[in-house]
Amino acid sequence: MKLISLDAPDGLRLKGFLSLGQSNLATIIHIHGNSGNFYENDFIRTMAEMYPAAGINFMCVNNRGHDVIAEAYRNGKLVYIGGAYGEPEQCIWDIEGAVTFAKKLGAPIILQGHSFGCNTTLAYLLKNSNM
């Protein structure tokens, strides 16, 4: 498992992690819920171990709705983000940034979410029929 950074299309820097599977069969991008984060739920650690053991890459990235209030950077400038500031329609940009990052791995991409992450994943897929 390694920590990663990637940018959403609006320049917001997102942090997360990537666990690589030896076979590179697919890359699962897990989208967490509003006010959550990429590491808090115990089931994320379980997936980060089990998917790579099965040859599947697993990635989880904070989105702009992570935690309640958090510091982040957009185009090198400090901004405040989090569930208290969240604009749900912008969360699809975070998924777009994660998908762009994951495409470099060369494996098919699978999106999965929990809680509000299911809603943002659906919103992303409705706007991006190429997935």
Q: What is the mean pLDDT of the chain?
A: 94
Sign of CA dihedral 51, 53, 58, 62: positive
pLDDT tens sequence across 71-110: 999 999 999 999 888 777 888 999 999 999 999 999 999 9
Spatial separation of the C-alpha atoms in residues 16 and 13, rounded to whole Å? 10
Centroid of chain to Cα 52: 17
For residues 84 and 12, which has the higher predicted lDDT (pLDDT)?
12
The pTM for the full model equals 0.93
pLDDT on residue 112: 97
Question: How would you label 51-82 residue by residue, b for 16+ Cβ within 10 Å and e otherwise?
Answer: bbeeebbbbbbbbbbbbeebebeeeeeeeebb
Average pLDDT over residues 35-46: 92
- The answer to whether 101 touches 6, Cβ cutoff 8 Å, is yes
pLDDT tier at 131, thresholds 50, 70, 90: low
